[in-house]
Amino acid sequence: MSQAYSDPKRESDPHALPDIEVWRDRVSIVHCHCGEYETEYDSAHADSVVYCPSCERPAESVEDTPREEWFYWFCFPGCLPDGDLMGPFATEAEALVDARDGMEDDDNG
């Protein structure tokens, strides 16, 4: 898991902390009465309940795929995530672009 800054300009600030965690994980398909959804899920923890990302009820089944994709969420080091898991993305760069979208300061004004 790597850490990044939502505003890359803050990287040089010795008092700033990274606020995005980005990682690569296996994509699984969650089957539910309300539909099928791709999500990050580690089948090594098959004994845990998987919840549908749409209706939040326990999934009817989970299908592993051979694909691994990139995910991110906002949080400070050592803290719980501040928001939902975002992804999947094909590359780490795509995940960071999405995370940073709209975070740039308007230097023209």
* Phi/psi of residue 8, nearest 5 degrees: -55, -20
Does the pLDDT value for residue 45 go beyond 70? no
pTM: 0.74
Q: Label residue 108 by pLDDT band (50, 70, 90).
A: very low
Can you name the residues that pair with 74 across neighbouring β-strands? 20
* pLDDT given for residue 109 in this prediction: 42
pLDDT in tens, 60-106: 999 988 889 999 999 988 899 988 889 999 999 999 999 999 776 54
* pLDDT given for residue 43 in this prediction: 64
Mean pLDDT, rounded, for 25-41: 90
